[in-house]
């Protein structure tokens, strides 16, 4: 399946249907919560002190709910109107702004005690037009420069994102450094394809004394993921005796593929019925 940021701009991809579907998905809720708690851990705010945080790409407010539970005041920005509509329907506590972060922020200098962002930065790496101001380096520069101004000195900003290559990580970190940030990349569970998470941990001020936190070790999670993987696939051998993996094609798998094809606009998708995915007798 193609990555969401390669299918359409975020304000289009997260339309009314997708915004509600994403928010109601219990798996998305759990993943968002886990990554938000980890981002707050890396943010390393002083305990038992009030803080005003910026949630970049706040969406429907899933991360904002965690910020509320932890006792923080927050403001959220997002480019997708449908996501913000869902956030309003859910009556989240934070102030919400419709904002293209690639055009920069207009907040007063030193407004925030910190910032978090979950699954957003990779969207800035796609140019929607050929105009120079739409290029990823230009948008990243506007983003980091204005964010640096909006944060207090000292403070931190933590971004969880999904880079597709080391070149993307290098581009993001180099532009952040040029904007005045210190810090670097934190990778949790680096040996696990599924559990691996990349965080950009940036510092404002601090006299260069702040150290980049260490990522979490992935040995135990890697083992768990391997077990779950093998439960989903049957192991067999080819005619040469070599072991290979075969997908388990059942009713749930077929319905999921049909849903994907319909979402992509494919017209010749067979309708669902009680016979979908049933086993057929072999014909000799």
Q: Which tokens go with 221?
A: 């999670």
Residue listed under structure tokens 């403001």:
75
Phi/psi for 161 (5° steps) reads -150, 170
Q: Which tokens go with 200?
A: 């950009």
pTM for the whole structure: 0.76
The answer to whether the CB of 200 falls within 8 A of the CB of 56 is: no
102 closest CA partner among 56, 40, 71, 156: 56
Q: Checking phi first, is residue 79 left (phi over 0); if not, alpha (psi -120 to 50) or beta?
A: alpha
What pLDDT score was predicted for residue 68?
94
Q: Per residue of the chain (284 residues), give pLDDT as tens.
A: 579 999 999 999 999 999 999 999 999 999 999 999 999 999 999 988 899 999 999 999 999 999 999 999 999 999 999 999 999 999 999 999 999 999 999 999 999 999 999 999 999 998 777 788 889 999 999 999 999 999 999 999 999 999 999 999 999 999 999 999 999 999 999 999 889 999 999 999 975 568 899 999 855 444 444 333 333 334 444 445 554 444 456 777 778 777 777 776 777 778 887 777 766 554 43
The answer to whether the CB of 150 falls within 8 A of the CB of 111 is: yes
What pLDDT score was predicted for residue 276?
78
Could you give the CA distance from residue 157 to residue 130 in angstroms, rounded to a whole number? 30
pLDDT digits (tens, 9 = 90+) for 52-81: 999 999 999 999 999 999 999 999 999 999
Considering the four listed CATH numbers 3.40.50.10420, 1.10.10.10, 3.40.50.150, 1.20.1270.30, the one that applies to the domain covering 4-218 is 3.40.50.150
Residues 6+ apart with CB under 8 A from 35: 118, 119, 160, 197
Tell me the CA distances in angstroms from 149 to 135, 154, 167, one per residue in order: 22, 12, 26
**How many C-beta atoms lie closer than 10 Å to residue 202's C-beta?**
26
Domain ranges of the chain: 4-218, 223-263
What pLDDT score was predicted for residue 83?
98
Residue listed under structure tokens 């200098």:
109
């Amino acid at each position: 399946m193609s990555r969401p940021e390669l299918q359409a701009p975020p304000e289009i991809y997260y339309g009314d249907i997708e915004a509600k579907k994403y928010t109601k998905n219990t798996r998305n809720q759990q993943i968002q919560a886990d990554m938000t708690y980890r981002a707050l851990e890396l943010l390393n705010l002083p305990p038992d002190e009030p803080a005003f945080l910026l949630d970049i790409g706040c969406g429907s407010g899933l991360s904002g709910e965690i910020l509320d539970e932890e006792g923080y005041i927050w403001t959220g920005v997002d480019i997708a109107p449908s996501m913000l509509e869902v956030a309003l329907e859910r009556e989240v506590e934070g102030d919400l702004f419709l904002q293209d972060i690639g055009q920069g922020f207009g907040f007063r200098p030193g407004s925030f005690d910190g910032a978090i962002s979950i699954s957003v930065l990779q969207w800035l790496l796609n140019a929607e037009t050929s105009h120079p101001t739409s290029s990823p380096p230009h948008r990243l520069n506007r983003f980091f420069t204005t964010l640096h101004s909006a944060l207090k000195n000292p403070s931190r900003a933590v971004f969880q994102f999904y880079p597709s290559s080391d070149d993307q990580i290098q581009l993001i970190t180099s532009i952040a450094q040029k904007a005045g940030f210190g810090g670097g990349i934190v990778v949790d569970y680096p040996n696990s394809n599924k559990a691996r998470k990349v965080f950009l941990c940036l510092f404002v001020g601090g006299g260069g004394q702040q150290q980049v936190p260490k990522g979490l070790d992935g040995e135990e999670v890697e083992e768990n993921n391997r077990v779950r993987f093998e439960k989903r696939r049957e192991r067999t051998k080819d005619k040469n005796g070599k072991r290979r993996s075969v997908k388990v094609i059942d009713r749930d798998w077929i319905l999921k593929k049909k849903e994907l094809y319909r979402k992509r606009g494919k017209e010749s998708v067979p309708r669902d019925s009680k016979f979908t995915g049933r086993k057929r007798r072999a014909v000799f």
